[in-house]
Amino acid sequence: MPNNTLSVGLAIGTLAILLLLFGWAGGIIVPQTVFGAKEGGKLSKPLEKAFPHSDKCKRCHLRVFEEWEASAQSRSIVTAAFRVTLERFLASSDKKDATMCFRCHAPHVLEYGHQADMFIKEVQSKNPQIDGVGCTQCHLIKEVDPNTHPPHPTYQLEKIIFGGYKKPAENLAHKSEYLDLYKSSQYCLTCHDSLPRSGKSANMPDWLGNWKESKAEKGGKTCQSCHMPEAFGESANGERNRKVANHSFPGRFGKVRAEALELDFSTEVKGEQSQVEVTLQSLVPHNLPMPHPGWYRVVLDLTILGKNLKKVHGEQRFYERVYGDKNGKKTVFDFEAEKILKDSLLKPEEKRIEVFTFPTPKDAPSMDVIVSVTYAPIHGPKDFVKAVETESSIGQKDRAFQSVQVYKKKVNVPLKKK
């Protein structure tokens, strides 16, 4: 599952240094209100005490921290695309809830909605001192309500870290508790389910598609199976090696992308016309790609090389969902999406056949047929793409502008002589 999956299954540490790092004093037993009780709907404890930065976890959980630091989750509120989108949302006359963008990009806003302006200023600084999606934003979730949309996480703001290890190591830093939730796909739905729904957008389809009916889900293969693959190592520094969950969340930029599709193609020369038939088999139990408006697109590309390896034909097919605003105009902003203008996504585990017909290269003994599949870079209206480029400190070198190859194969096909 896509570039943006929440952290689950964080291993429980063994070192007491977290006690000092988090500012928790007084030994092992701490009052249940250590993170602060709500007063008039607001938490009395400062945000940095209730949701300590992931840097605090680094001293004990170095492996996990380094994996997370390389993930898309760690960049949830620092990317140029997010800053541009947030600014457009704030400038929109239709905005209703200033916390909406943070609902998934910094989910602890659900407990600190009264500090929405602080979250916004942190993002605008380009060097936020708070996490977006970090250790505590994920591992303080006690339950997820599947009857709300998006599914609503409930935080238990006590000195307990929840996770997916059945026998967490005892330690002086925090209590540890195993929850089945951290092994289930339901956990990931808190952010990876769909656009926020209201008004005319209430009937919009989910991002994931019918994942519950997929062979993978029915066979016990959850989101974590692919996006948090298990390895053998230590959870906390100095701990005995055991099975641990990967926290780099491979997806578009990870190894798992190579396992997203099976692809085969055949070529038939029919005189002056030739045909390439491509068969794509999605191997993932959700839509491919995950259809965030604007920059989630998978591209199937056909290139034909003729005499002297000169390109004589090129054609592409796009797998995407294109959203329209209230006026039916294409939009790349999820807060404007009210209708679907196009939906060519590969559905969960779908098999699709694409047929390309083109002129047979002339005066050539053979032709090269090149078929490739890539995750496309960010795209959309020119002003939006330019704004993202300008907002990024490295411009077009930003990862958002890089295509990611999933598959590529070249076959040489002999051509009959006249």
Question: 93-118: per-residue pLDDT in tens?
Answer: 666 688 888 989 999 999 999 999 99
**Helix H or strand E encompassing 142:** strand 141-145
Q: pLDDT at position 6, please?
A: 33
Which pLDDT band, with edges at 50, 70 and 90, does 21 fall under? very low
β-partners of residue 249 are none
Let me know: does 313 contact 243? Beta carbons within 8 Å.
Answer: no
Residue 15 has pLDDT above 80, yes or no: no
For 19-79, strand residue ranges (E) read: 38-39, 42-43
Interaxial angle between packed helices 80-91 and 116-124, expressed in degrees from 0 to 180 and rounded to the nearest 10: 130
Instruction: Pick the more confident residue, 168 or 200.
Output: 168
29 Cβ contact list (under 8 Å, min separation 6): none
Tell me the domain boundaries of the chain. 17-245, 260-414
Residue 30 has pLDDT above 60, yes or no: no
Closest CA to 369 of 378, 360, 377: 360
Which whole number is the average pLDDT over 144-173?
85
Which whole number is the average pLDDT over 122-144?
95
Which whole number is the average pLDDT over 185-197?
79
**Helix H or strand E encompassing 388:** helix 382-391
Q: Which of 91-105, 223-237, 401-415 has the lowest mean pLDDT?
A: 91-105
pLDDT tens-digit profile of 321-365?
999 988 999 999 888 888 899 999 999 999 999 999 999 999 999
The two structure tokens encoding residue 223? 């989101």
CA distance 416 to 418: 6
**3 state SS for 372-405:** EEEECCCCCCHHHHHHHHHHCCCHHHCHHHCCEE
- Residue 148: other Cβ atoms inside 10 A: 10
Q: pLDDT at position 7, please?
A: 35
CA distance 206 to 344: 14
CA distance 153 to 143: 6
Q: pLDDT at position 200, please?
A: 58
pTM above 0.75, yes or no: yes
178-to-139, 142, 205, 226, 243 alpha-carbon distances in Å: 11, 10, 33, 21, 15
Q: pLDDT at position 241, please?
A: 87
Are β-strands 330-331 and 242-245 bridged in parallel, bridged antiparallel, or unpaired? Answer: unpaired
- Residue 303: other Cβ atoms inside 10 A: 16
Residue 268 has pLDDT above 80, yes or no: yes
Closest CA to 285 of 352, 190, 220, 372: 220
Domain topology for 260-414:
Immunoglobulin-like (2.60.40)
Closest CA to 165 of 96, 248, 53, 243: 243
Cα 22 from chain centroid (whole Å): 29
Phi, psi of 359 (to 5 degrees): -65, 135
β-partners of residue 407 are 373
Residue 35 has pLDDT above 70, yes or no: no
**Cis before 289 (ω within 30):** yes
pLDDT tens-digit profile of 66-75?
999 999 999 9
Q: Which of 81-85, 334-338, 387-391, 405-409 has the lowest mean pLDDT?
A: 334-338
